[in-house]
Amino acid sequence: MDERGTEGQRSEPGHQAGLTFEVILTRWMRGIYLLQDAVDRLLGLELDDAERTVLANKHPWLYGAYSYARTVQIRGGDLKFPKHRG
């Protein structure tokens, strides 16, 4: 896929492959995405751990987001909303 995205428009952060903020947030709340993955997708990125480290070292706010997500995951969970039952 080029920088124009799937609809022929220049892709913006969070809109890679047509994903909107609402879709990313919903997938995170349903437990489909981990918090680190949700951060990547909101920024329109597809990163591995090494690439996350390099980028996070350049941007302190992103380092904080990844660090928090990693801490939550290490403690045995991810910040997921309870699944709706109905």
Query: Helix, strand, coil: what percent of the chain each, to 5?
Result: 50, 0, 50
Looking at residue 26, what is its pLDDT? 82
Model pTM score: 0.45
- For the segment 16-66, what is each residue's pLDDT rounded down to a tens digit? 456 787 888 788 778 787 777 887 887 777 788 888 888 888 888 888 877
Look at residue 77 and tell me whether its pLDDT is greater than 70: no
Domain layout of the chain by residue ranges: 16-74
How much is the pLDDT for 36? 78
Structure tokens at 82: 């309870």
41 and 69 in contact (C-beta within 8 Å)? Answer: no
